[in-house]
Chain A
Amino acid sequence: MSVLAQDIADDRDDDIVAPTARWRRAARWLRRNPVSAAAIVVISLLVFVAVFAPVLEPYKPDVPDPMAVLKPPSWAHPLGTDGFGRDVLSRIIDATTLDLSIALAATLVALSIGMVVGALSGYRGGWVDLIVLRLVDVLMAFPAFVLAMGITAALGNSIANVAIALSMTQLPAYIRLVRGEMLRVRTLEYAEAAVSIGNPSWRVALVHLLPNCLPPLTVQATLAMGYAVLTMASLSFIGLGIAPPQSEWGSMTADGATYMSTGEWWLFVFPGVAIVMTVLAFNLVGDALRDLLDPRLRGTR
């Protein structure tokens, strides 16, 4: 028998252990990390609320009820009412949609641009890379929040502008992360192999190498979502974010703060809790992703 025919016969008897099914590995991991599992549950809940907000909210969020102004939490209004008689619970639910979708949009836009710019810049090097790096440096020279403030102050505080501001604050980090990974990955042999089989440079960078630069990005993006929510809330808190009467956690907390001295605690505690819970959940998931991806990367067979 020729060597090759023998090889095929041998391979049939090969007992390489089939890798454990991904879902089974994931289930096992979730059992061992209850805190992370809880965080994932929280985020899933938030997404659910954001999607089904109009159905879930017991009252219309922007319809005032002069009969029920500044009522503390009760059966009729579980989280109380505000100065206009609007139900706080409904407003928080309504705000979930806005906060999450703006944060998501901003993150996605920043990711898309950042990935491509970082990949091409890291792969090509040279003066293109230098220019990109300097631009990134300029952006990073501003504290993220100051940058966001500046953009919304300059452009106005529509929803789109807030999203742009949030995008720009995230962009430099993604560019640098992808570029860093690209610098490491472009020296690997499969990068050389991609060139040697005839790929043009851009294909090597974007099709072959970029997918391998993504793991640290997913961690960063998850953490950035939390930060985006926080930034948006902070902008609204100082009046530069989403304008009323649109319900938004930050502006609700800001309004609620003025009632601190008069004792209507439910007006700033509940929106505040919403912010904290969301940011915390994203942070925990981000940390969990980092732990999950790191040893696996090193532990491949």
Chain B
Amino acid sequence: MPWGSRMSFVSVRGLDKHFPVRGAGWLSRRNGPAPVVRAVDGISFDIDRGRTLGLVGESGCGKSTVARCVTRLLAPSAGTIRIGDKQLDRLEGEPLRAARRDVQMVFQDPLAALNPRMSVERAVSEPLRLHTTLSPAEQRERVREILTEVGLRTDAMGRYPHELSGGQRQRVNIARALACAPSFVVLDEPTSALDVSLRARVILMLEELRERLGLTYLFISHDLATVKYLAQRVVVMYLGTVVEEADTDELFAHPRHPYTRALLAAVPVPDPKVRGEPFVLSGEIPSPLERHEGCPLRSRCPMASAICAQPVVPREVSPGHVVACHFA
């Protein structure tokens, strides 16, 4: 399928997010520019309308920072973010606030994402209060509607977060995000904090909602199996950069980047007869402060050689499959 055409619904280009290093006072700046952590470094991706893009990576790769930049919870240091016809990176103040109606986020920890002092009804009706002119009675009706959509009983409306189960809480989060009928939803590890048996239900529900309501998802997760199930296209991140990008089936069948290969090899398959290819990276994920020129995986890659000190240029190795590796 032709992704990344100019008609893509969500388009992110050259997204950067730098954080100044704490405690690095003016003395360290004598020798050059202030040290920064490049949490996100030049990320670009497209999402077609009604599709799911999976963003995978381990801790420190910057995927949560990407999520927060795309939803403008953080201000990007550089880059453009286009959602539909809105240039989100350029909006401020009231226009930004109004644009939030269309761009929503579902957070990882269902309990922490709900205000402990707000009832379910109050929490889910909040977006309606902020963005619509519905009367309180109409709001209540809409809340009932959306709670039913996510499979919650309407008598949950008066309950508080601590009175709900983990699965129910996550559904309230999803209901809140969908209350104003957004077109784009960013899901930041929505199933990671849930029990194994609950994940399947939430996954299937998210699928159904996407199809029925015509939503576009950016699905962020470290759980590759869930991403494989939900996403049509996958972006793999490492230390703030994209190392590989491809359609889901292609990526899982023919991973080209050493990091992707190592990641897939490390996922334990629930079948004792299936053993992954033993592809292992040495060492641990380095601190983002220690970024050097060239390939970020250089210090750990079994295939590393002299050329890896050179900056890597992403190459398309097959239609729609882009890899950032000198050897791919």
Contact present between A and B (CB < 8 A) = yes
Residues of A within 8 A of B (CB): 2-4, 7-8, 11-12, 14, 16, 18-19, 188-190, 192-200, 208, 211-212, 300-301
Task: State whether A212 touches B117 (Cβ < 8 A).
Answer: yes
| Distance of A55 Cα from B219 Cα, bound (Å) | 70
- Chain A, Cβ-Cβ closest to B150: A4
Closest to A8 in B: B151
Interface range, B side: 35 or more
Most chain B CB inside 10 Å of its own CB: which residue of A195, A198, A199? A198
Contact in complex: A193, B107 (CB < 8 Å): yes
| Contact assessment for B151 and A4 in the assembled complex, using a CB-CB cutoff below 8 Å | yes
B residues adjacent to A (C-beta < 8 A)? 68, 71, 73, 97-98, 100-101, 104-105, 107-109, 112-118, 126-127, 130-131, 148-153, 162-165, 168, 173, 176-177, 201, 204-205, 208
Contact indicator A199/B204 (Cβ below 8 Å): no
Given the known A-B contacts A195-B73, A197-B104, A198-B131, are A189 and B151 also in contact in the complex, defined by CB atoms under 8 Å?
no
Which listed residue (B101, B117, B150, B168) contacts A198, Cβ 8 A?
B101
Report yes or no: A7 in contact with B117, Cβ–Cβ below 8 A.
no
Quick check: A198 and B97 within 8 Å, CB to CB?
A: yes
Closest partner residue, chain A, to B110 (CB atom): A189
Q: How far is the CA of A19 from the CA of B158 in the complex (A)?
A: 13
In the complex, the answer to whether B153 meets A212 with C-beta atoms within 8 Å is no
| Contacting pair B113 A190 (CB below 8 A) | yes
B205–A189 contact, CB under 8 A? Answer: no
Closest B residue, CB atoms, query A195? B73
Chain A interface, >50% SS class: helix
With A3-B201, A19-B163, A196-B73: A300-B116 Cβ-Cβ less than 8 Å:
yes
**Chain B residues, Cβ within 8 Å of A196:** 71, 73, 100, 104-105
Task: Decide yes or no: A193 and B113 within 8 Å by CB, A3-B205, A4-B151 being known contacts.
Answer: yes
Q: Which of B176, B204, B208 contacts A197 (CB 8 A)?
A: B176
6 A-B residue pairs with CB within 8 Å: A4-B150, A8-B152, A190-B112, A193-B105, A195-B73, A196-B71
CB <8 Å contact, B113 and A198: no
B115, B149, B153 pick with most chain A CB within 10 angstroms: B115
Query: Is A8's CB under 8 angstroms from B162's CB?
Result: no
Within the complex, the shortest CB–CB distance from A210 to chain B, in Å, comes to 10
**Cβ contact within 8 Å between B116 and A197:** no
Residues of chain A contacted by B165 (CB below 8 angstroms)? 14, 16
Known: A2-B208, A4-B208. A194 touches B115 (CB 8 A): yes
B107 touches A189 (CB 8 A): yes
The one of A7, A14, A192, A208 in contact with B107, judged by C-beta atoms closer than 8 angstroms, is A192
Q: How far is the CA of A4 from the CA of B174 in the complex (A)?
A: 13
The answer to whether A212 and B115 have CB atoms under 8 Å apart is: yes
**A3-B201, A192-B73 are known contacts; what are 16 more A-B pairs with Cβ within 8 Å?**
A3-B204, A4-B205, A7-B201, A12-B153, A19-B163, A188-B112, A189-B108, A189-B109, A189-B113, A193-B173, A194-B115, A197-B127, A198-B101, A198-B130, A199-B97, A301-B163
- Which residues of A lie under 8 Å from residue B130 when comparing CB positions? 197-199
Task: List residues of chain B with CB within 8 A of the CB of A4.
Answer: 149-151, 205, 208
Residues in B with CB closer than 8 Å to A195 are 73
Q: Which residues of A contact B201 (CB under 8 A)?
A: 3, 7
Task: Report chain B residues within 8 Å CB of A301.
Answer: 162-163
**Chain A residues within 8 Å of B162, by CB:** 19, 300-301
For the complex of A and B, list the 5 residue pairs with the smallest distance between their C-beta atoms, beginning with the closest: A7-B151, A198-B100, A189-B112, A189-B113, A3-B204
| A190 and B114 form a contact (CB under 8 A) | yes
Residues of B within 8 A of A12 (CB): 153
CB distance from A147 to the nearest CB of B (A): 34
User: Are B113 and A16 in touch, CB under 8 angstroms?
Assistant: no
CA distance in complex: A194, B104 (Å): 11
Give CA–CA (A3, B211) in the complex, Å: 13
Given contacts A16-B163, A300-B162, A301-B162, contact A193 B176 (CB under 8 A): yes
Question: Do B98 and A198 touch across chains, with their CB atoms under 8 A apart?
Answer: yes
